[in-house]
Amino acid sequence: MMRLSKRARMSAVLGAIALVGMTGCGSDTADAGSTGSGGGSAQTVTIKEPADGASIDVPFTLSLDSGVELGSTDSGKHHVHLYFDGDDSKYEVVESDSMEITDASPAVEGLKSGEHKLDISLRNADHSAAGFDTSITVNVNGGGGGEDQSPDDGGAGGGY
């Protein structure tokens, strides 16, 4: 039977410990996005207000429940991008768990009355995606951007 030197035995033990550690890390990856109450801080955010399916007027209050601390982009903390109907080119930066969304927000500019998807995306301080997005459906009353959103009643100036 071959005897291992003290150094060889130590290397074997350290290798086994490293392998167990890497296996444990793999299980964290499998749980990514989970909202369970396990150890780490889940990088998730949910919309508390308005409720899914709600009718809203602009301005409205957006309330969030975030698994990470939100803050200003220059603080190094996460923030949220709010936008409508998948158009992430016009978004509002949300830096806290509650914010008044007014008709001055780029996200509601030109938004017409009717059903819309309200999207939020958790972002890193540099605006890169943090890996969590969600949306709800809302019915917007009156539209945003200060424009008259009433339907054409067929009056004069019909555009032919």
CA distance 114 to 141: 7
Q: What mean pLDDT, rounded, does the chain reach?
A: 76
Decide the pairing of beta strands 45-49 and 60-66: antiparallel
Q: What is the pLDDT of residue 154?
A: 40
pLDDT of residue 144: 59
Where are any strands of DSSP class E within the chain? 45-49, 55-57, 60-66, 79-84, 92-94, 98-101, 114-123, 129-141
Measure the CA–CA gap between 135 and 145, rounded to whole angstroms: 21
Q: Low-confidence residues of the chain, pLDDT below 70?
A: 1-41, 143-160
Model pLDDT, residue 142: 79
| Angstrom distance (rounded) from CA 85 to CA 28 | 32
Domain 45-141 classification at class level: mainly beta
Rounded to whole angstroms, how far apart are CA atoms 77 and 9? 45
For the chain, the structural domain boundaries read 45-141
| Distance, CA of 21 to CA of 96 (rounded, Å) | 36
pLDDT in tens, 30-61: 233 333 333 345 789 999 999 999 999 999 99
* pTM (predicted TM-score): 0.65
**99 to 8, 94, 142: CA distances (angstroms):** 60, 7, 20
